[in-house]
Amino acid sequence: VSLTDITARKKAEAYLEYLGKHDVLTKLRNRSFFADELNRLERKGPWPVSVVIADLNGLKRTNDQEGHAAGDTLLRRAGEVLAKSVDKPSCAARIGGDEFAILLAGTDERGAELVVERILSLVDVNNQFYPGAQLSFSIGTATCQAGDRLEAVVHQADARMYAAKKEFYEASGHDRRKS
């Protein structure tokens, strides 16, 4: 009889599986997971499905003025806030450099608004505990009913986020391409 301890190999496999679906910096799900979940919800629901797209404001300015370590800290803080803003089975994903998405299965417009309110409330609390760069998001939402194309609703939420981002930078007097 020969026994082999495969504990280390199993841990390594579990970690690789984790890396395949998570963003290492923010600990949120990654774009690959988001795309898979989008396809799954498109096929199976439950309907309605709301989408929240959030973009971190001021990351470029933070990176330029305080360094990339400060920008990474801001991204980690964003991940903490977004992770705490949703309940399972929903989850937040980092889908780009400073862009995040939340798919809310079985959630209507009002439910999506409540998630946005929770995000903004957690941002306020988070900013009280961290000196330096203030955490701020531009957020857009949209809701998909059964039979609608979920990808079109993601684009609609994205367009609303960009409109909010434009308003943010116009109100703050900064050029978004420089800050």
Q: Is the pTM value of this prediction over 0.85?
A: yes
Reading the block at residue 61, the tokens are 């300015």
pLDDT band, very low/low/confident/very high, at 162 (cuts 50, 70, 90): very high
Question: Nearest to residue 54, comparing CAs of 126, 125, 134, 160?
Answer: 160
pLDDT band, very low/low/confident/very high, at 168 (cuts 50, 70, 90): very high
pLDDT score recorded for residue 16? 78
Distance of CA 22 to the CA centre of its chain: 12
pLDDT band, very low/low/confident/very high, at 137 (cuts 50, 70, 90): very high
Does residue 161 have a pLDDT over 70?
yes
Reading the block at residue 49, the tokens are 């499905």
Q: Exposed, middle or buried: residue 4 (CB in 10 Å: 0-12, 13-18, 19+)?
A: exposed
Provide mean pLDDT across the span 105-114. 96
Provide, rounded to the nearest whole percent, the portion of the chain with pLDDT above 70: 95
